[in-house]
A = this chain, B = another copy of it.
Amino acid sequence: MAERLRDVGEFGLIRRIHDLLKKEGVAPPPGLTVGVGDDAAAFRSRPRYEILVTCDCAVEDRHFPARHVRPREAGRRSMVVNISDIGAMGGRPLYALVSLGLKKDTTIGYVEELYRGFLEELNPFGAVIIGGNLTESAKGVFIDITLIGEVKERTLVRRSTAQPGDVILVTGYPGQSVAGLQLLLRSLAPREHPVVSAYIHPSHRAREGAAIAETAHATAMIDTSDGFLGDLGHICEESRVGAQLFQERLPISKGLMDAASLLKEDPMELFFRESDDYELIITCAPSHRPAIQSAVTATYDGPVTEVGRITEWSEGIRLILRDGSQRILVPSGWDHFR
């Protein structure tokens, strides 16, 4: 019989997690003075660095379907979401706190696999888990992660500082993961389909975000966690700018085209509307585009595509179609005239 939470108790499970972290995690960064096991963790920041902090919560069967996503994959995804946020500011992850809501019958093996997923994403950065919380949830597992990072003073990239005339760049192929999730849920494609695989093995562009920040040429940056259009909308709203996009330039992958046809959906809708992948949208002066692109391609094989331009706030977000006609795009939840 699989060992369950009720067999080993809260403190028993905490010990098992500590043992796993010691064995499978990396040595903590030199700034850490108190790790897991006290009322709070403690660390020192490096001179001339700012601290970054973000949190994101994943709920079973809402953010990841338990039937299709293995615990290690759920662990990776939950950590990737947070790493992506640190990267989108130009930072590097250092310390994570993991708060888990577990079911009475959650197995110890399940929890250990979640942690292996977290470590798979943290270890390459030399980042460590320094605290957290275990609790019994009312229903279903939830995984709430707070991730702390650092960024060199004055290199941090906001979403509120895009300028009319800037070019809009995007990494990779937004929309793939969510299409993959839909294919999985509707049993329309195997785990090996490229967009299903994009969902199951989530990736982030945190290394690339840090390299972009180093160039000091990005005027704004954001990750696509609310979907390409939603996040471009955040840049526009916070920067009080508009945007012009060119349909013919949108990086819509062959996999996404295929998925859209299986799902009987418009691939452009999948590209614009949905989330579940963690690419970067970057704005910069046109003359700085090559520097940004080099920063990304130093560590990333995929494309960095110029998809449009930042315009005036009054223009809203417009899509220039192949035939030259225009369509106004409105991010969901967006009130342009607020």
Contact = CB atoms under 8 A, between A and B. Distances in A.
A6 interface: no
A3 interface: no
B57 A144 contact: yes
Interface stretch (A31-39, A243-251, A303-311): A31-39
B146 A97 contact: yes
A138 B60 contact: yes
Interface centre among A12, A40, A95, A148, by most B CB within 10 Å? A40
A10 B88 CA distance: 22
Interface stretch (A46-54, A118-126, A178-186): A46-54
B10 A333 contact: yes
Interface stretch (A22-30, A153-161, A165-173, A319-327): A153-161
Contact of A223 (B39, B57, B101, B138): B39
Contacts of A222: 39
A334 B136 CA distance: 20
A39 B333 contact: no
A132 interface: yes
Given A33-B50, A138-B137, A42 B89 contact: yes
B57 A50 contact: no
Interface string A113-155: 0000000000000000011110111111010101111010100
A51 B55 contact: no
Nearest to A54: B40
B34 A41 contact: no
Given A33-B156, A38-B89, A99-B144, A51 B45 contact: yes
Interface of A: 9-12, 33-34, 37-45, 47, 50-63, 84-86, 88-89, 91, 95, 97, 99, 101, 130-133, 135-140, 142, 144, 146-149, 151, 153, 156, 158-160, 222-223, 238, 333-334
